[in-house]
Amino acid sequence: MLYFIATPIGNLKDISYRAVETLSMVDEIACEDTRHSLTLLSAYGIKKPLFSYHKFNEKEECEKIIEKLKNGKNIAVISDAGMPVISDPGNILVQALKENGLEFTVIPGANAALSALILSGFNADRFLFLGFLPEKKSDRESLLNEYKNVSATLIFYSAPHDVKKDAETLYSVLGARNAAAVKEITKIHERAEFFNLKDGYGQEPKGEYVLIVEGAAKNAEYANLSEEEHIKMYINGGMDKKEALKRVAKERGVPKSSLYKYTIEK
């Protein structure tokens, strides 16, 4: 059996009993970075043979893993943080397991995308996870154009050296939308920083990021309005500020707190 096992995304305590039991039981563990994984495994007294399994050797190691399984070994696959396969190595392996009729399962756990979505306070009824944006500008824009009219909240992963560039690309295709940069999830300095794509991400990048962006407006009446114009539309229609704020927050799927600044008298 092969086990895809979720690992903590920051706080080492965010691991399940089942994950610890399984890691202690398997014959070998495939790690994205063996040095990184040793910290976690050592914290739980787990001593097993480790081998590297990352995006640069995924195809080669995949074949070796298949052979190990056919020879009766139990293998665990973990990434540096979170769920393997999801924006991490594993897709090639899953296909190979299916083709060879080999058993595999998932030991669920911490996930950065879902945690960030909750921390952002954006609409979580429907959301779309798009992972890391492609490297090439044309590929990035092509991908975003496919989803720019989707009303669901959009979720992206972003490295610290890419977060400002990613925000600029998102604005160039999606327009002026509310967004949140969520970082240090499960750690002491965990926080969600709110901004509008038109203004860019103005903080000094530090740590791994999840970018949450509001979906496309469903109502043509306010589809091209800014947040401030949207609020004024309802106030001018006779609605008081409190109700206007509540309505706009609901329609845009954003926290009311991110809109308060537009109701303060200047």
Do residues 241 and 263 lie in contact, with contact meaning Cβ atoms separated by under 8 Å?
Answer: yes
Task: Say if residues 76 and 29 touch (Cβ distance below 8 Å).
Answer: yes
Each residue's pLDDT, cut to its tens digit, for the chain (266 residues) gives 999 999 999 999 999 999 999 999 999 999 999 999 999 999 999 999 999 999 899 999 999 999 999 999 999 999 999 999 999 989 999 999 999 999 999 999 999 999 999 999 999 999 999 999 999 999 999 999 999 889 899 999 999 999 999 999 999 999 889 999 999 999 999 999 999 999 999 888 888 999 999 998 765 466 667 788 888 888 887 888 888 888 888 777 678 888 888 877 64
Beta strands in the chain (DSSP E): 2-5, 28-31, 50-52, 75-78, 104-107, 127-132, 153-158, 178-183, 191-196, 209-213
How far, in Å, CA of 140 to CA of 216, rounded?
A: 18
Q: Residue with structure tokens 């086990």?
A: 3
CB hemisphere CA count around 165 (13 angstroms): 13
Q: What is the pLDDT of residue 256?
A: 83
Give the C-alpha separation, 123 to 252, whole Å.
Answer: 8
Say what the pLDDT of residue 222 is: 66
| CA end-to-end span of the chain | 64
Q: Which CATH class is domain 2-107?
A: alpha beta
Residue-level pLDDT at 6: 97
The pair of structure tokens assigned to 67 is 């052979």
- DSSP output for 144-195: HHHHTT--SEEEEEE-TTTHHHHHHHHHHHH-S-EEEEEESTTSTT-EEEEE
Domain residue spans of the chain: 2-107, 112-213
Q: Decide which of 3.30.950.10, 1.10.10.60, 3.30.365.10, 3.40.50.11610 is the CATH code for 112-213.
A: 3.30.950.10
Domains 2-107 and 112-213 equal at CATH topology level: no
pLDDT at 266: 45
